[in-house]
């Protein structure tokens, strides 16, 4: 499970990093809390952070559940794709939000795949 733990920690650190970027963008673009609008570049960074949160709440539990039933190394490999996908999403969304599809797919599909793997694992265990 060490690889699963490592990927989880990296994903959580990545989320924290995106949060730091949001804070920095607040200062750079003069967006005072609690506002979440007012400058397009700030809003892009904010959306990257929030979209990452939206996926993270599925990704982390799904990864641990899937690792209970399937090879943890394979599960961590799928998780690593998620982390790379989030980086691609961040870079592309900041550049041009219309170009975010690849990064989104590289992070949403692994998260959903892990959730499905967990469901299958649970179902197979229940049938035994």
- For residue 23, the model assigns a pLDDT of 97
Pick the CATH number of 2-123 from 1.20.120.550, 3.30.420.40, 1.10.3080.10, 3.40.50.300: 1.20.120.550
**62-79 confidence digits (pLDDT tens):** 999 999 999 999 999 999
Q: Give residues with Cβ within 8 angstroms of 82, minimum separation 6.
A: 7, 11, 55, 59, 106, 107, 110, 111
Q: State the pLDDT confidence band at 1, using cuts at 50, 70 and 90.
A: confident
Q: Are 87 and 104 in contact (CB under 8 A)?
A: no
Delimit the domains of the chain by residue range: 2-123
Q: And the tokens for 33?
A: 């809390």
- pTM over the 0.85 mark: yes
E strand or H helix at 82, and its extent? helix 72-95
């Amino acid at each position: 499970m060490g690889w699963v733990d490592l990927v989880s920690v990296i994903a959580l650190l990545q989320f924290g990093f995106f949060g730091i970027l949001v804070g920095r963008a607040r200062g750079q673009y003069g967006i005072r809390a609690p506002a979440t609008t007012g400058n397009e570049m700030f809003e892009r960074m904010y959306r990257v952070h929030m979209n990452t949160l939206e996926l993270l709440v599925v990704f982390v539990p799904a990864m641990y559940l899937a690792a209970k039933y399937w090879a943890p190394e394979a599960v961590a490999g799928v998780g690593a794709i998620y982390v790379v996908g989030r980086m691609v999403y961040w870079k592309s969304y900041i550049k041009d939000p219309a170009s975010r599809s690849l990064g989104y797919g590289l992070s949403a599909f692994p998260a959903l795949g892990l959730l499905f793997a967990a469901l299958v694992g649970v179902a197979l265990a229940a049938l035994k």
